[in-house]
Amino acid sequence: MNKNKKAEFGWVMFDWANSSYSLVISTAIFPIYFLDNSPASVSIGGLNLTNASLYAFSVSLAYLFISLLSPILSGIADYSGYRKRFMRFFTTMGSIGCMLLYFFDGPESLWIAISGFLMATACHAGSLVFYDSYLSHLVPPDRADKLSAKGYAFGYIGSVILMCLNILMIQHPEWFGLSDGKYAARLSFLSVGVWWLGFSQFAFLWLPKDERDPQKKLNLFHGIGELKKAWNFTRNDRDSKFYLSAYFFYSAGVQTVIYLASSFAKKELHFESAELILVILILQLVAIIGAYFFALVSRKTHNLVALKIMIGIWALICIAAYFVNTQIQFYLLSAMVGMVLGGIQAISRSTYSKIIPKNHPDTTCFFSFYDSIYYTSIVFGTFVFGFINQYTGSMRSSVLALFVFFLMAGIILQKVNKSAVRLVV
């Protein structure tokens, strides 16, 4: 395996490693476990929150923190050549956050759940700032779609393998010499931390070394200055501005669905934990197909065409979710979500890599700006979802707000010129 192939393999293996957090902690097992082992109503600062709203607001808080911090850190990393070092730091701390969730065993240890979840979520997001910035360095624009999709596919496969093992532990704890399913769930959180930290070593070993200038030192203000470069380019570039505006709205919808779909199914449709995990497994398996399918659609048509199709499907999903009443209907809806989940994430990332200036030396800052918008959109989406749920007592009303997000994204994306997206080197 030549040096560049090793680097590409290391890059996709980081998706394999960190996606275990995305599936087990943020989507499948932890949300269900959290609702089952926390009080239905929690009093914080004089406010009585439902546990579902508390979970949504916890996601908002984690991403608010990283959205404020990551642009500064990535600007510093780009300037001083510490990109891989920061990526390793966030990976290590995020893995530890997952391991802390092992100690959450009931309402009396709720603070551990919130602390560990905030730590894991913020650090997972922080590590991706540096991970995403490698894409335009590893491959030319005409290969970006394929490598981006490969990363997401590896992520889905790896996370599904770990989740299947976790499911067996939870459903049949006696096979593993465990006392019960609750203890097995806690072990699954521990396993995510070990998996994430262990497999990420391929990335740290094979991704290209940062080029550091010994004359340059860590400088907070330079990090802010580097971020301004990306902002000034975006502000003065019509297509980048409209693309990132559309990205903000549809990411708010997509990521809110990912984080809160399990809560919706449990609260509104009364799914049992085992049934919910099956739903998530179906979603992940279909997402592997979707990532490659829409990479093909993008190659045969155009990145923007593929994105518009997927945004339209997401809008239909939100409308259907408002009216869904049976578990069979939700299974079918989950398959639809899976089909566009992997595709929209992979194509969004590669599209942006084709819009930013070619051969620019500070690509980390552009992706920091991109990721900052992504994180802010999650804060916005999950907060709106949690607020509407808290106010109305119904998650169905919150789903309609997500439809508005996708509608806005579709309208704005129409303003992006196809010629702004580079198709060849």
What confidence score (pLDDT) does residue 400 get?
86
What confidence score (pLDDT) does residue 315 get?
94
The pLDDT confidence band at residue 242, using thresholds 50, 70 and 90, is: very high
- 297: closest CA among 309, 285, 279? 309
Alpha helices in 172-300 (DSSP H): 181-199, 201-206, 220-236, 238-268, 273-300
What confidence score (pLDDT) does residue 422 get?
67
Residue 96 burial by CB count (10 A; 0-12/13-18/19+): exposed, middle or buried?
middle
What confidence score (pLDDT) does residue 216 get?
62
The mean pLDDT value of the chain amounts to: 85
What confidence score (pLDDT) does residue 77 get?
64
Residue 325, pLDDT > 60, answer yes
Residue 425, pLDDT > 50, answer no
SS3 42: strand
- Region of poorest pLDDT, from 30-39, 62-71, 93-102: 62-71
What confidence score (pLDDT) does residue 313 get?
95
Alpha helices in 172-219 (DSSP H): 181-199, 201-206
- Mean predicted confidence (pLDDT) in 305-334: 91
- pTM above threshold 0.85: no
Residue 424, pLDDT > 60, answer no
State the residue for tokens 């262990």: 198
What confidence score (pLDDT) does residue 253 get?
92
Q: Tell the CATH topology of 3-206+219-420.
A: Growth Hormone; Chain: A; (1.20.1250)
User: Would you give the distance in Å from CA 131 to the centre of its chain?
Assistant: 13
The residues, ordered by sequence, that sit 6+ positions from 279 with a Cβ below 8 Å of its Cβ are 261, 265, 271, 330, 331, 334
User: Would you give the distance in Å from CA 224 to the centre of its chain?
Assistant: 24
Please write the tens of the pLDDT for every residue from 183-216: 999 999 999 999 999 999 999 999 988 776 666 6
Please write the tens of the pLDDT for every residue from 107-166: 999 999 999 999 999 999 889 878 877 877 788 777 877 788 788 789 878 998 998 899
Residue 58, pLDDT > 50, answer yes
Residue 225, pLDDT > 90, answer no
The pLDDT confidence band at residue 98, using thresholds 50, 70 and 90, is: very high
Distance CA 409, CA 311 (A): 8
What confidence score (pLDDT) does residue 5 get?
86
Q: pLDDT higher for 346 or 62?
A: 62
Please write the tens of the pLDDT for every residue from 345-399: 778 878 888 888 776 666 667 877 887 888 899 899 989 988 888 888 778 888 8
CB 389 within 8 A of CB 398: yes
State the residue for tokens 């996709």: 12
What confidence score (pLDDT) does residue 143 get?
80
Task: Report domain extents, the chain.
Answer: 3-206+219-420
The pLDDT confidence band at residue 96, using thresholds 50, 70 and 90, is: very high
State the residue for tokens 């809008």: 315
Residue 402, pLDDT > 80, answer yes
